[in-house]
Chain A
């Protein structure tokens, strides 16, 4: 079975192969061909990691923005919380991780790492770059850009600004139109003007950034005072895009009667 072809009287294989190489005019592929291939593959790895990092940034940003509601009012409303999950970006993150692992496997020595290490590495790098980009405000910038420039983005990410304006659930959003000693007025996202009551002067001092034209989100309860709707606030937060954590969040101590909520 292991009898050599030389013993069988066949022509010497090396001569046969060298003749064939000469006859066909074959020559070794140049070294740069392999370098280019390797660089292209690493380029694909970088692109996939970049997409994964951006998806992570957006996931962190949107998750952070939604946390404002989760923290204050919606912890029991699972269906609503489900709508806040940035599935589009999570899906893109999964695709990017999958593609990163695939491209890494195609690198010269990629086969030496196990899939679990490659996935862990890709997720780790995406989180590292993604959270750095989030800290720089890149996630917010991209989200705002897509919300204003891409009509399809809003429905894809389940973004409905009015969900930040459910007074029954104790949340309202709008632009500050007037700031007084203990109260401030906001123009809600639906255009209606609402008076927000802050507990005391001390609390007003806690809102140094509050100024006309600033977009805010407010958590509290609605009461009627002097025949008009007044919203008593327990927390105020600047509202840019979806919210975001670029600005320092301002907390107002809850009013005594609100502690029972």
Chain B
């Protein structure tokens, strides 16, 4: 009884520690989610609790819980047959994203405006958008993204490279229009 109570208390600490991060991640990959984000978040923590004994100790706990969050988000979108139409970037996200992209990709010839970036991101396939979010906004390494999206790190590197290339290409295209 005491053990169960301690376990639950410890789990409460985990919820407190990750709820902000996961909520932010959910909102980034599922824009326009609104209040439903809390239902998804709740489901993520319940799944984490039920599957806690299956946690692979070779992973970081953060990668493991992000994986559950990502899978839950994908399931939710599939269930609702929804696809994020318009990406919304907060000011902080915009700053982080453009800085990271410029560092990673060299200085763009044309300045990146918030509108242009959100428009470009909204036109990107989900798989590319997700790796950009995880790498540039969530600050995850290739290894961590590999553990979250359950794919080899080589594939993550390829996806990220293609995503950056596609971002530039869509951005240029929209700018010309």
Residues of A bordering B, CB below 8 Å: 1-2, 4-5, 10, 13-18, 20-22, 26-31, 33-34, 108-109, 111-114
Q: How far is the CA of A29 from the CA of B88 in the complex (A)?
A: 38
- A-B CB proximity, top 9 nearest: A14-B15, A111-B150, A34-B54, A14-B12, A31-B53, A114-B152, A28-B52, A1-B90, A17-B45
Say whether B150 contacts A29, CB under 8 Å.
no
Say whether A113 contacts B152, CB under 8 Å.
yes
- The residues of A that contact B49 with a CB separation of less than 8 Å are 17, 21, 26, 28
Say whether B50 contacts A114, CB under 8 Å.
no
Q: How far is the CA of A109 from the CA of B151 in the complex (A)?
A: 10
Say whether B146 contacts A112, CB under 8 Å.
yes
- The residues of A that contact B54 with a CB separation of less than 8 Å are 29, 31, 33-34
Q: Knowing that A28-B50, A34-B51, A108-B56 are A-B contacts, what are 15 other residue pairs whose CB atoms are under 8 Å apart, sorted by A's residue number?
A: A1-B27, A2-B90, A2-B92, A5-B23, A13-B42, A14-B11, A17-B42, A18-B15, A20-B42, A22-B8, A27-B4, A111-B151, A112-B153, A114-B152, A114-B154
- The residues of A that contact B50 with a CB separation of less than 8 Å are 26-29
Q: Which residue, B41, B54, B92, B150, has most C-beta atoms of chain A within 10 A?
A: B54
User: A5 — nearest CB in chain B belongs to which residue?
Assistant: B38
Say whether A2 contacts B46, CB under 8 Å.
no
Complex partner residue of B38 from A1, A10, A26, CB under 8 angstroms: A10
In B1-45, the 8 Å CB interface with A consists of: 4, 7-8, 11-13, 15-16, 19-20, 23-24, 27, 38, 41-42, 45
Chain B residues with a Cβ closer than 8 Å to the other chain, count: 36
Say whether A21 contacts B152, CB under 8 Å.
no
User: B88 — nearest CB in chain A belongs to which residue?
Assistant: A1
A31 to chain B, nearest CB (A): 4
B77 to chain A, nearest CB (A): 18
User: A114 — nearest CB in chain B belongs to which residue?
Assistant: B152
Interchain Cβ contacts under 8 Å between A and B, 27 examples: A2-B27, A4-B23, A5-B19, A5-B23, A13-B16, A13-B38, A13-B42, A14-B11, A14-B13, A14-B16, A15-B12, A18-B11, A18-B15, A20-B42, A20-B46, A26-B46, A26-B49, A28-B7, A28-B50, A28-B53, A30-B53, A31-B53, A33-B53, A111-B146, A111-B150, A112-B153, A113-B152
Q: How far is the CA of A169 from the CA of B56 in the complex (A)?
A: 64
- The residues of A that contact B41 with a CB separation of less than 8 Å are 13
User: A12 — nearest CB in chain B belongs to which residue?
Assistant: B16
- The residues of B that contact A18 with a CB separation of less than 8 Å are 8, 11-12, 15
Complex partner residue of B152 from A31, A33, A112, CB under 8 angstroms: A112
B155 within 8 A of A: yes
Q: How far is the CA of A1 from the CA of B27 in the complex (A)?
A: 8
B173 within 8 A of A: no
User: A32 — nearest CB in chain B belongs to which residue?
Assistant: B53
- The residues of A that contact B153 with a CB separation of less than 8 Å are 112
Say whether B53 contacts A111, CB under 8 Å.
no
- The residues of B that contact A17 with a CB separation of less than 8 Å are 12, 15, 42, 45-46, 49
- Given contact pairs A21-B46, A114-B152, A2 touches B24 in the complex (Cβ within 8 A): yes
In B89-148, the 8 Å CB interface with A consists of: 90, 92, 146
- Given contact pairs A4-B20, A14-B12, A109 touches B38 in the complex (Cβ within 8 A): no
B104 to chain A, nearest CB (A): 23
Q: How far is the CA of A187 from the CA of B4 in the complex (A)?
A: 82
